[in-house]
Amino acid sequence: MLVAAKEYFNLPNSVVGVVHDKSTWGRRGLAVQNTVLEPGWRGYLTIELTNHGTDTITLEDGVGLAQIVFHHMDWASERPYDGKYQDQKPGPQEARFE
In a domain, 91, yes or no: no
pLDDT value for 79: 95
pLDDT value for 25: 94
Report how far residue 32's alpha carbon sits from residue 19's, in angstroms, rounded to the nearest whole number. Answer: 8
Domain, as residue range, for 47: 2-54+63-72
**pLDDT bracket for residue 34 (50, 70, 90):** confident
Question: Is the separation of the CB atoms in 47 and 67 below 8 Å?
Answer: no
Is 48 a catalytic site residue? Answer: yes
Q: What total number of domains does the chain contain? A: 1
The CATH number that applies at residue 16 is 2.70.40.10
Given 7, 48, 78, 98, which residue is catalytic?
48
What digits encode the pLDDT tens for the residues 36-91?
999 999 999 999 999 999 999 999 998 999 999 999 999 999 999 999 999 999 99
> Residue 93 class from Cβ within 10 Å (0-12 exposed, 13-18 middle, 19+ buried)?
middle
**pLDDT bracket for residue 18 (50, 70, 90):** very high
Report how far residue 33's alpha carbon sits from residue 40's, in angstroms, rounded to the nearest whole number. Answer: 21
pTM: 0.88
Segment 1-20 shows an average pLDDT of 96
CA-wise closest residue to 90 among 2, 9, 17, 6: 6
Residue 20, pLDDT > 90, answer: yes
